[in-house]
Amino acid sequence: MVVNKIKNMMVMEQGQVLDTICHFLEKENQLWEKPEVSFWNPSVEKLLEFLNLDPRKATDKAFFFHLYGMILRECPSVEKVQCHLASLLDLSHQHSRQREGIALAVGLASTKHLEEVWALLEHLGRTKFLQSVAATEDSQDEILKSSFLSATILLTRSLQAEYSSQRYKFTQTPELIQCLLGILQKEPNSLTNFLRQKIILVIIGLSNLRPRFKPLLKSQILKTCLQTVYMLPPAKDSRNDLFSVEQASDTTVLYKKTVRALDLLLQNFISENPSMDEVCFLLQHIEYWLMSDKIHERSRAVQSIYLLLQYVVDSLKLAKEAVPSLLGHQIGILILLWRDKDKITQQHSHFCVYLLMELVFQQKGKLVESAQWSKMKHFESNVFREWEMKLYHLVKVFKEDLTVAQHTQLILTLVHSLGSYNHLHSDLAAKLLLLICVEPGFRKEQIAELLQGLFQELPNIQSKSVQQAISQATLALGTQHIQEVVEVILSLCQPSERWILPLWKALAANYQVARDVITLLYIKLKLRPPRRLLQSTYRARLVSLMALGTIYELLYTKEYRNTVCWAFSGILLGLLTELYYLLEVGLVQGLFDYQEDDLGSKPLGPCRICLEALKGLFWTTEYWEVFADVKLIQGWELFGQLETFPKGVTLLARAMAHYNCEIKAVLGQALISLKSSEERDNIVGICIITEFLNSPDVSQHMSWKTMYNSLNLGLSSRNQMVRAMSLKGLGSTLMHPKKATLLRSKLMELLDNFLQPEFKDPAGLMKIMGHLLHCLSAQGIGIVSLKIAQHLLSLFTDERAAVREGAIFLFGDVIHYGGKKLRQSLKDVASQATVPLLFNMADPCQEVAMKARFTFLRCAILLKWEFRKELFGKLAWGQGLGAANDIFIYMLESNVGNYQQFLSQALTYLDSSHMTVKLAAMKFIGALLQDYFNDLCIYLRKKDVIFLKNCLEALRHDTDSRTRRFYLNYWNDAVELSYYVQD
C-alpha cells in the first residue's frame, strides 16, 4: 500500500517528503541514544497522515531510514536521488543504530540507482572516509570505521545479489580496499570483536566484483591480512587471571572465525586464478612468517599453506602451462620446517611438501606415482636410518620431477640456510645439499649458482658439521664436473680471498681430483694472449692471472702438498714461462714493492705473485735448499728483468742439479719446452737442459742420443740465445767425455800456480777454477778438491776483500762438487771452516759477508746440522742480536764435542784488523764461556785454557774500550775454568 502511494507521488512531493525526513533525523540526532522519541513533531504527523501510516511508527527512527530508502528507490529523478543521498550520508555516524539506518537506506536506493550510489561512494571514499582513516586516532575514528564497514558490507551484498551488476565496474575498489586495510593496520594486537573477520570477508566480496584485483593490490591485501592475524598473541597468552572462562572461550571463537576468514581469502584468490603461478604468489607472501622466530607464527603460517594446498588438490584443476622456478624455493623453505621445534609445524610442513609435489605431478600429467615418491611418502618414522632413506628418495624425486630452474632454486634455498642460527635447519639443509650433490647426474648449469651461493655463505657458517658437509658436497661436484667447478671457483673472487680457500681444500680430499685441479690450473696458466690483444681479450688474461694467483695460494696449502710434488716439474716450467711472459708484456706493477721478510704482507701485482710462487714451489716442498742456495747469492733478483732472466734460470737449474731436485721430471719438461713454438718456452728449456748437463745424475735419466738430438734442434732456433746455449751444451763434458781429462789436467796446472805464495791475481784464478769445477761436476773432480779446499781456508782472512770473497765462494763449490768418495774428508774441512765463515758474516765488505752466509749454509747442509731450514731463515732474513744468538745456538747444538776447536779458532780472530770481525769473535767467545761453561770444562785441556788466558791477557791494555771491557768481563771465567779443566 505504502509502496504504491510512493510510486504515485510526484517528484516534487517525493522531494518534500525526503526533506522532511532528513530534517527530522538531523534534529533528533542528539537524542539518538534513546530507543524512542520523547516528543511529537507536527511535520512528521502530517507526513504519516499523507502516507496513511500508523502514528505510532514515528517512535522508531529505523522506520524513517527504511522509508527514506524506499522513496529514493522509487524516485525517477537522478538529480533528486543524488542530492538526497548526499544529505543522508552527511548525517552523523556517531551511534551504531544511525549507522545501520544509513546503510539500510543506501542499500535500498542502490537496488534501482546503482550507478548513482557507486559514484557517490567513490566521491566519499576519496574525501571523507579516506581522510578520516588516515587521520590521527580520536573519538571519531571508531564511528567512521563502523559506518564505512557497514555501508561497504551492504553495498557488497547488494552488488552480489543483483545479476545485472556484472555489467558495472566499480572503479573505486582499490580506494575502498585501502581504507579497509588502514582500519586493519590500526587494530590493536588482540581480539575483542569480529572486525578483522568482517573486513577480510568484505575484501573477499569485493574481490569477486569487476574489475579483478591487480597483483600489487593483492600483495597489499595479503601482507596486511596475514600480519594482522599471524601476529595475534597465542591463545594461552591472551588469557589471564582477570578473564573469565566465558571470555577465554569467546576469544577462541573469535580467533577461529578470523583465521577461517583468512583461509577463505586465500582460497578465493586461488579460485579466481587456478594456476601454479598463483599458488607460488600466495606462498611467497606467507613465506616471511615461515621463517619467523616465534613458534606460533610459524605454526599459523604453515597451517594456512596446508589448508590452501589441500583445497587446491581436492577442489581445483590447475592450468598445466605454469612451471614457476619459485616453487623450488618454497619447497626448500617448507622442508626445513621438517625439523621445527613444534611437532604440529613439522607435520603440516610434511603434508605441504607432499601436496606441492602432487600438484607438480598433475602439472606433468603423471597419473601414477613414481617408485621413489611412494617410498618417500610412506616413511613416517623418525628412526635415523629411515629418516636418511626418506631424504635420499626425496632428493631423487626432486631431480626427476622438478624443472632445472626449480631444482636450482631449491638448492640455493638450502645453501642460504646453511648459516642459519637455527642449527636444526642448517643441519638438515647440509644433509640435503650433500645428498643432492652426491646424486649422479648433477646438472652442469647449476654448478655456478651453487658454488656462488656457497661462497657467499661460508663467512656465516660456524658449525663444524655443516662445514664438513660443504666440503663433501664440493668434492662430489668436483668428482663429476671438475672442469666446470674449477672455472667457477676461479671466477668467484681473487685467489687471496680467505673464504675461497675452503672450496679448493675440499677438492684436495680426493687425490685424483686434486691432480685434476692442478692440471687445469696449469692449462689455464698458459692462456697468454699476445700484448697487442691484451685489451680486447681481458677475460683471457684474467683467467691466466687468476690461475697464477690460485697456484700461489695452493703451494702453501698443506692439503695440496703431495699433489704439488707430483706436478712439480710442470708447475716449475709453467711459472718460469709465465714470469717471462709477464715481463714481456710489462705487467710488472708491484714487482719491487714486496717485502719478503714481512710475513703479514701479500705480493702485489702478477709479476711479483709469479716470482713468489716460483720461490714457494721450492720452499714448501723438500727442496728448500734450492731456494736457499739461490736466495743467498741474490739469484732471485735476476728474475726481475728480461736481460738477466736467463742467468736466473741457469743459477736455479744449477742449484737443482746440486741437490738432485726432480732432475728426470724437470728435464723431460724442458725437452718438451724446447720443441715449443713459443720462444719463451725455448729459452727456459735450453737454460735448464744446458745446466743439467753438468749434473752427474743426468745420464741416468736421459740417453746421449736424445740429448744430442734436442741440442741440435736448439741450433736451428730463430732465437740467438737458444742457439748459443745449445752450442754450449753440445760442448759439455757429458757430450764429450774425453774433454774431462783435459780439464782435470788444466785444473791441476792452475792449482800449482794457485799454491804459489806470491801469485798476482788469485781472485781471477779462483773464478777460472770455479768454472772448471762446474764443467767437471758431471765427471767428478777427485782428490784435487780436497787440496783446493784446504788452501782456500787460509785465504778467508786475506787483507784483500776480493780474495776473501772469491775464496769463500769457491770453497762452497769445492765441498759441493767434491764427490761421494771424499765426502768425509770434505766434511772435516767444512767443520774447520764454520767458525771463520761465521765471523766473515760480519766482514765490512758486504759481498764477503753475503758469500760467507752462502758457504756457511752449504757447510751446515753437508754436515747435516739440526735445524738447517731455521738456520737459513736467520741467515736470509734475521737481524740484530736475536738472529745472531739463534745462529750461534744452531751451530753449537749441532756440534757437541767441537767446542775446543771452535774456541781455539775464535781466539785467533781477536787480533783481526777488521773491528766488526773482532767484535763478532768476542761475542762468540763470551757466549761460549757464559752459556757452555760446563761443556768447556769437559772438552778443554790445560793447554787450551793457557792459550785462552794468554789471548785475553793480550787485550788488557788494548786502546779500544770495547776490547778492554771484554777482557774484564771474561777474565774471571778463564781463571775459574783453569780450576776445573783436567790435563
Q: What is the helix (H) or strand (E) element at residue 215, kind and residue range?
A: helix 215-230
| Residue 37 confidence (pLDDT) | 45
- Say yes or no to pLDDT of 162 above 60: no
Stated length of the chain:
983
Q: Kindly state the average pLDDT of the residues 547-561.
A: 94
Tell me if 392 sits within 8 A of 399, measured CB to CB.
Answer: no
Tell me if 809 sits within 8 A of 851, measured CB to CB.
Answer: yes
Q: What is the pLDDT of residues 700-741, one digit of tens each?
A: 887 888 888 888 888 988 999 999 999 988 888 778 877 877
Task: Check residue 755 and report its DSSP letter.
Answer: T
Cα–Cα distance between 81 and 837 in angstroms, integer?
Answer: 119
Q: Kindly state the average pLDDT of the residues 679-690.
A: 94
| Residue 130 confidence (pLDDT) | 47
Q: What is the pLDDT of residues 623-670, one digit of tens each?
A: 999 999 999 999 999 999 999 999 999 999 999 988 889 999 999 999
Cell 556484472: give the residue: 166
Which of 147-151, 231-235, 571-575 is the least confident region?
147-151
In this structure, which CATH number among 1.10.1060, 1.10.3470, 1.25.40, 2.30.30 belongs to the domain 743-864? Answer: 1.25.40
pTM exceeding 0.85: no
| Residue 53 confidence (pLDDT) | 74
| Residue 243 confidence (pLDDT) | 46
694 is written with which cell numbers? 753438468
Q: Kindly state the average pLDDT of the residues 864-876.
A: 92
| Residue 980 confidence (pLDDT) | 87
Question: For the chain, what percent of residues have pLDDT higher than 90?
Answer: 45
Q: At what angle do helices 823-840 and 846-862 cross, to 10 degrees?
A: 150
Domain ranges of the chain: 1-129, 521-529+539-731, 743-864, 898-914+926-982
| Residue 133 confidence (pLDDT) | 47
Q: What is the pLDDT of residues 525-543, one digit of tens each?
A: 998 887 777 765 565 667 8
pLDDT class of 381 with cuts at 50, 70, 90:
very low
- Under 8 Å CB-to-CB from 148, ≥6 apart: which residues? 129, 133, 179, 183
Which of 25-29, 109-113, 613-617 is the least confident region?
25-29
DSSP per residue, 807-876: HHHHHHHHHHHS-STTHHHHHHHHHHHHHHHHHHTT-SSHHHHHHHHHHHHHHHHHTT-TTHHHHHHHHH
Q: Kindly state the average pLDDT of the residues 580-608.
A: 79
Q: Which amino acid, 701? A: H
Q: Kindly state the average pLDDT of the residues 358-362.
A: 89
- Say yes or no to pLDDT of 841 above 70: yes
Tell me if 277 sits within 8 A of 218, measured CB to CB.
Answer: no
Cα–Cα distance between 274 and 279 in angstroms, integer?
Answer: 8
| Inter-CA distances, 724 with 364, 715, 720, 767, 953, Å | 73, 8, 6, 22, 62
Tell me if 152 sits within 8 A of 178, measured CB to CB.
Answer: no
pLDDT class of 163 with cuts at 50, 70, 90:
very low
Higher pLDDT, 216 or 601: 216
Give 912-921's long-range contacts (Cβ < 8 A, gap of 24+). Answer: 912/797, 912/839, 913/799, 914/842, 914/843, 914/844, 915/960, 916/842, 916/843, 916/844, 917/839, 917/840, 917/842, 917/843, 918/963, 919/842, 919/962, 920/838, 920/839, 920/841, 920/842, 921/839
- Under 8 Å CB-to-CB from 729, ≥6 apart: which residues? 686, 689, 690, 693, 707, 711, 714, 735
- Under 8 Å CB-to-CB from 377, ≥6 apart: which residues? 354, 369
Buried b (16+ CB within 10 A) or exposed e, 879-916: eeeeebebbbbbbbebbeebbbbbbbbbbebbebebee
Task: Check residue 30 and report its DSSP letter.
Answer: G
Q: What is the pLDDT of residues 880-938, one digit of tens each?
A: 888 899 999 999 999 988 889 999 999 999 988 899 999 999 999 999 999 898 888 88
